[in-house]
Amino acid sequence: MKNFQDEKQRDLSINTSDGTNKFLTTDQGVKINDDNNSLKAGDRGPSLLEDFILREKITHFDHERIPERIVHARGSGAHGFFEVTNPIPELTKAGFLQEKGQKTPVFARFSTVAGSRGSTDLARDARGFAVKFYTQEGIYDLVANNIPVFFIQDAAKFPDLIHAVKPEPHNEIPQAASAHDTFWDFISLMPESMHMIMWVMSDRAIPRSYRMMEGFGVHTFRLVNAQEESVFVKFHWKPKLGTHAVAWDEAQKISGKNPDFHREDLWEAIETGNFPEWELGVQIIPSEDEHKYDFDLLDPTKLVPEELVPVTIIGRMVLNKNPDNFFAETEQIAFHPGHVVPGIDFTNDPLLQGRLFSYTDTQLSRLGSPNFHEIPINRSVAPIHNNQRDGHMRQEINKGRVSYHPNSLGGGCPYQAKIAEGGFASFNERVDAHKVRARSESFTDHFGQARLFFNSQTPEEKSHIVKALRFELGKVETTAIRVRMLGLLSQIDTTLAEKVALGLGANVPPIIEKPINKGVSPETEEAGTQEPQTIDQAVDSSEALSMIKNPTNAPTIESRKVAILVSDGVSEAAVMNMKSALKKEGAKGCVIAPHLGSVKTDSDTAIAAEFSFLTASSVLFDAVYVPHGLDLNTLAENEDAIEYLNDAYKHCKVIGADGDAASIISGAAFAGKITNDDPGVIVTSEIASEAFAQEFITAMTMHRFWQREPNLYN
Ligand code: HDD
């Protein structure tokens, strides 16, 4: 069995260092005798220029920062492996996909797009999902997002899109948010973004965890087999824990309470052995089907419905090791959709084609040198020999006098590889065309799949989209932009537009019939008044597009966290019963008390508090449990404690209470808002009952009870 799982860790170990039991030294290896005082002329005198220890330390510090990524600056990553479960040698010659059980080391980085490096994890945004495979044939990067389509069809519009969404240039406000005028100004003039807008206004843009997101390669790629035959392919990552989100109000509160929520979640999961896992799947489209669909496979604003082409699972990825050093690994990793290995190739998707230029270019300014491939986290485990030389911070010491090809002085080395020897040869696609600056007519339907996505959502999910649009457009100050957006939304779904309009106190503009201005750039069209498109989608609704209906969501509460509220007098049996029932399911009950230290139980034992009501918060947990015996007056009088229940209710989480604690549900603090009959509210008069714990856990597998919210769409 080909198991290269540990190969990258062995490779990285060459560069890892550990100061335990070692002397403190300068960068030149000289042992330091005093690291606390600079060299001075007298103990009250001026510092001396001669102090090489001080100069070196401060100079290094002054240069510690590098430019953050222009997009996807905020992110977190981890090491792991990819294992083939269903080899596809008939479709691709890529060496790492040939044998069942074959393992390849990977590093994955998840990110938000718009915010800067220190911004919140919980911004409403697409998430990056980039995976570097250290294969035996070189680096393969699958630089994906958690949304299967993109805002724009052509890379030429990428700088405009990013300028529009980033904080506005005059005052650098707002951070990590699309809810402002410049973003919606641009979007309202770009009908092609409507499908992506439906996704980013849905709960996909506020994931519960990086471990609970799907990943999508977005573009159609090619697989090429040993006979040089090609199929088209779409890549999908499917999370083992299902695809889940938080509520928007919750996301905003988490942003304040713990802006590192996703980062911490990923880190903790790996530290505690709950290794995040995804299946890798492919939608395979035979070459001859290239023009079969009523959308263009090269258009990155379109997906291939799984009803038309099912996803075939080919492997799984497990993340099982946190980085040793955030900067060296997560910050310095450089992804590039152009890092491919023989057997994987590109298509002419104009967004992908532009990306193929952008990623190396950006590393030159971010990492500062064409030698960024030598940084340990970026280094291939396959050997590198070529005639590239020199440049800033070159590590490799190339021997000999020859740095050109062809050569005779070096015996022709390093020599080219034939295809049969693993040499990369681009797929031999025939291209016979005029050189034009144009958009293909097959890219013109901007609303069909936006409608497909919207129609595929449950009533609760539709309501969330209405709410998100009311929020985002409500933050826009320019009325004309809001109205243009309503015009575009009405072409997706008239009720959607009307419901959003209600929240904005505006009217949906009438659709003015006018011929589509083909070949003219979309900015010059009056976007809000464009004629509705008539191209029929073969699929009206797709379960895979809904998070709630998603057929791959397993009923699990693995690694979920439950807030167990306690105070003196709490029933020890009730707390322990719930804790052990949760543990059995791989979840964790966290004890939260009025103060840190411990509380006394009804059996005079002490239970340690992991958090106080003040240091944790309901939004950081998946459910709240109020056990029997807890002093209800203490709870009702403590505003921080009350917030646990109010927020859990508002965010549609499971709330449980047993014994005398059950009365808290209908107590004065909630003014009759919560009733025992509410979905997801689990109460019993029994104490420490197994059946109650099971009911609580089963309810948690539903993730959220969104039906508790008022529906804004119906
Ligand atoms: Fe990009 C980073 C994903 C379009 C230019 N992109 C970046 C990252 C992800 C994506 C996951 C972060 C990688 C990391 O963790 O370091 N980008 C996408 C997807 C796109 C996409 C799925 C559309 C399908 N990107 C796109 C376009 C361009 C770029 C059209 C430019 C023409 N992207 C970049 C970049 C970044 C980047 C500026 C910033 C940092 C980096 O590359 O290394 O080059």
Q: Which of 69, 154, 166 gets mutated to test ligand 1 (max ligand atoms within 8 A of its CB)?
A: 69
Nearest residue by C-alpha to atom 27 in ligand 1 = 355
pLDDT in tens, 359-384: 999 999 999 999 999 999 999 999 99
- pLDDT on residue 513: 54
pLDDT in tens, 547-579: 999 988 989 999 999 999 999 999 999 999 999
- pLDDT on residue 670: 62
pTM above 0.90, yes or no: yes
pLDDT band at 674 (very low <50, low <70, confident <90, very high): confident
Nearest residue by C-alpha to atom 37 in ligand 1 = 71
ipTM confidence score:
0.98
Spacing, Cα 185 to ligand 1 middle (Å): 22
- Distance CA(260)–CA(320), nearest Å, equals 20
Spacing, Cα 360 to ligand 1 middle (Å): 11
pLDDT in tens, 298-344: 999 999 999 999 999 999 999 999 999 999 999 999 999 999 999 99
- pLDDT on residue 148: 98
- pLDDT on residue 232: 98
- pLDDT on residue 672: 58
- What amino acid is encoded at 705 in this protein? F
- pLDDT on residue 551: 86
Say yes or no: CB of residue 155 within 6 Å of ligand 1.
yes
> In terms of C-beta density within 10 A (0-12 exposed, 13-18 middle, 19 or more buried), how is residue 670 classed?
middle
Say yes or no: CB of residue 130 within 6 Å of ligand 1.
yes
Torsion of CA 485, 488, 489, 493, to 10 degrees: 160
Q: Is the pLDDT of residue 610 over 60?
A: yes
Spacing, Cα 386 to ligand 1 middle (Å): 27
CA nearest to 601, candidates 636, 644, 570: 570
Say yes or no: CB of residue 262 within 6 Å of ligand 1.
no
Say yes or no: CB of residue 162 within 6 Å of ligand 1.
no
Say yes or no: CB of residue 696 within 6 Å of ligand 1.
no
Q: Which string of DSSP letters, residue by residue, matches 127-196?
A: EEEEEEEEETTEEEEEEEESSSS-S-SSGGGHHHHHHHHSSBTTTTB-TT---SHHHHHHHHT-GGGHHH
- pLDDT on residue 671: 53
- By annotation, the residues acting in catalysis are 72, 145
Q: What whole-number percentage of the chain has pLDDT above 70?
A: 95
Say yes or no: CB of residue 276 within 6 Å of ligand 1.
no
Spacing, Cα 206 to ligand 1 middle (Å): 19
CA nearest to 192, candidates 489, 491, 446, 452: 446
Pairing of strands 221-224, 230-239: antiparallel
pLDDT band at 669 (very low <50, low <70, confident <90, very high): low
CA nearest to 656, candidates 648, 612, 615: 648
3-state secondary structure 106-138: EEEEEEECCCCCCCCCCCCCCEEEEEEEEECCE
- pLDDT on residue 664: 79
Spacing, Cα 184 to ligand 1 middle (Å): 21
pLDDT in tens, 153-176: 999 999 999 999 999 999 999 999
- Distance CA(501)–CA(413), nearest Å, equals 68
pLDDT band at 675 (very low <50, low <70, confident <90, very high): confident
pLDDT band at 534 (very low <50, low <70, confident <90, very high): very low
- pLDDT on residue 431: 94
- pLDDT on residue 677: 76
Q: Is the pLDDT of residue 532 over 50?
A: no
Nearest residue by C-alpha to atom 24 in ligand 1 = 218
Say yes or no: CB of residue 607 within 6 Å of ligand 1.
no
Name the token pair of 306: 């799984």
- Phi, then psi, of 697 in degrees rounded to 5: -65, -45
pLDDT in tens, 25-61: 999 999 999 999 999 999 999 999 999 999 999 999 9
Say yes or no: CB of residue 358 within 6 Å of ligand 1.
yes
- pLDDT on residue 511: 77
- pLDDT on residue 1: 62
Q: Report the mean per-residue pLDDT for the chain.
A: 94
- Distance CA(289)–CA(228), nearest Å, equals 18
pLDDT band at 638 (very low <50, low <70, confident <90, very high): confident
- pLDDT on residue 520: 43
- pLDDT on residue 512: 62
Q: Is the pLDDT of residue 608 over 50?
A: yes
- pLDDT on residue 302: 98
Q: Is the pLDDT of residue 181 over 90?
A: yes
Q: What CATH code would you report for 561-708?
A: 3.40.50.880
Spacing, Cα 71 to ligand 1 middle (Å): 7
Strand partners, 711: none
Omega of the bond leading into 174 within 30 degrees of 0 (cis): yes
